[in-house]
Amino acid sequence: MIEKYTQRSGAGWRRWLWLLLLCLVISLLLAGLKYRQISEAIAFAESFPERSETVNAVTVSAQNWRDTYRTIAEVRSPQLVETRNEVEGMIKGIGFAGGDNVLSGQLLLELDSSEEKAQLRALGAQLELANLQLKRTQELRRKSLASKDDLDRAQADKNVLAANAAALQARISKKILRAPFDARTDLHNFQVGQYLAPNTLITTLSGLQADYWVDFQLPQDITTLEIGDQVTLSSRSLLAEPIEAQVISADSRIDPLSRSRSYRALLQNAPPALRPGAVLDVSVGLQQKENIFRLPASAVRADLQGDYVYVLKSAENGADAAYRAERRPVIKGPAIASEIIILGGIESGELIATLGAFKLTDGMLANIAKTEAGEVNEQAL
């Protein structure tokens, strides 16, 4: 029985061994077949050229650049006066139409002063009588027929009447308003016969000169602007092109509420479209920076890792394109029109992909449609 069991065990072990060898042979055959398929696929893929893209490019060169701070400014007239009446009264005459130009000394508005003029005539008669009385008293005093007290009283009576007449004349003068200089007037709705209370605004007079003040504010940390510097003024609706104005004064202190300093620039020979009260855009030059680069907006890309450009390096010998793209992180500055200031990350003389850069990836082959040193080629591919 033992020998019979031993024979059966040996036969079973041999069958498992042959089965294991068969599986191993099959696995080797399958592995060889798969290796052959992969090798053929690799060879097939290598028969195609490496992927490349065609882009435009620019050769960059370092430049000096001055950053600007932009804010708004208000146009003011050096001659700007609010004309108001000091005394009350009824309007007797109006010497200007709203919006007209007036000359220096021209009548603007006259209030009725008939009562004051009547009182002035009465005082004139009393003053004439007082003069006669004073002369008689002086003559009597020379003859020692009048006392010193009589003479002083006659002189005082004359002086009081003269002062009252002068006060009435001043009140009459205050009822006549004239233009202090050549100016442009505002609109008004006054009518003859209308009663005006004291301190009523009659009109605002704006000088006719072609020079204006331009007032604006800068934050306290901007300290580069000095008296005599130029600022640039612009407006889409009022100015056909930017114009220059010269800084003529500045506040001596910082505003404690806004933490800003007020400046005033002089705009000479202002365009006719400008009027006092208009708002303009102001560009103030800041500190100059050196070794910056200007790139077209199409050259600068951005993702979660930051801003970058593609620098085109010469490809290795035998490559299917002339250049290979290298992703380069950059420090981006402000945008100016269709260009972007690059503060760091690239070097002078490097070739940067511009139009079509979005098609590139790091290490990809690239061909250049056109490149010009120092100029940007934005032609469509």
Which alpha helices (DSSP H) does the chain contain, by range?
A: 2-46, 114-142, 148-174
Tokens matching residue 128: 């004439």
Nearest Cα to 178, choosing from 237, 110, 238?
110
Nearest Cα to 217, choosing from 270, 273, 257, 267?
257
**Contact present, 66 and 285 (Cβ < 8 Å):** yes
CA–CA dist 186, 200 (Å, integer)? 14
CA–CA dist 72, 235 (Å, integer)? 10
> Where on the phi/psi map is residue 241: left (φ > 0), alpha (ψ -120 to 50), or beta?
beta
Tokens matching residue 12: 């079973």
**Contact present, 177 and 200 (Cβ < 8 Å):** no
Predicted confidence (pLDDT) per residue in 237-279, tens digit: 888 899 999 999 999 999 999 999 999 999 998 888 888 889 9
**Contact present, 205 and 184 (Cβ < 8 Å):** yes
Helix (H/G/I), strand (E/B), else coil: 93: strand
CA–CA dist 378, 381 (Å, integer)? 9
- This prediction has a pTM of 0.59
- Amino acid found at 84: R
Query: Which pLDDT score is estimated for 46?
Result: 58
Nearest Cα to 281, choosing from 139, 70, 84, 3?
70
Range from 25-39, 99-113, 158-172 carrying the lowest mean pLDDT:
25-39
With 60 as the cut, is the pLDDT of residue 194 above it?
Answer: yes
Predicted confidence (pLDDT) per residue in 17-76, tens digit: 777 888 888 888 888 888 887 876 776 655 556 788 889 999 998 888 877 889 999 999
